[in-house]
Amino acid sequence: MKIAVLGDRDTALGFKLAGAHEVYSFDTTPLEVERLKNKVDELVGREDIGIILITEGLAQKIELPDVTFPIILQVPDKSGTNYGEESIKEIVRRAIGVELKR
C-alpha cells in the first residue's frame, strides 16, 4: 500500500525527502482548492493507496470524504497544529481503532 501526502509546498517537500510514495503540493487559491478536491477524490478511488496524509490547513478548505479506507489523516503543517494534543489522540484512536493510554 502506498502513502499519499497532500500539503503546502514546504510540507510536501519534507515528506518527499522522507520517502513518501506520492506527494502533491497545493496552495489556497480557489483553482488550487478545486484541484485539491479532485486529487482527494482520485486518491480515494485508487486501490493502491492505503493512507492519505493531508495538512490541517488544506483539510479545512474542503470537505473530506467519510471513508474507512484509505485512512485519511490530518497532519500539522509548518505552522503547527490547530488541534490540541487530546484531539490528535482522538483522531489517531478513531483512525486505527484502538484505545490510546493516557
Reported as type and span, the H/E element at residue 50 is strand 49-55
pLDDT given for residue 68 in this prediction: 83
**For every residue of 22-86, which 3-state class applies, written as one string?**
EEEECCCCHHHHHHHHHHHHHHHCCCCEEEEEEEHHHHCCCCCCCCCCCEEEEECECCECCCCHH
pTM, two decimals, is 0.76
pLDDT of residue 83: 59
- Write down how long the chain is: 102
Higher pLDDT, 6 or 95: 6
Q: Which residues pair with 49 in a beta bridge?
A: 2
Domains and CATH numbers, the chain: 2-96 (3.40.50.10580)
Q: Pairing state of beta strands 22-25 and 71-75?
A: unpaired
Q: Is the pLDDT of residue 98 over 90?
A: no
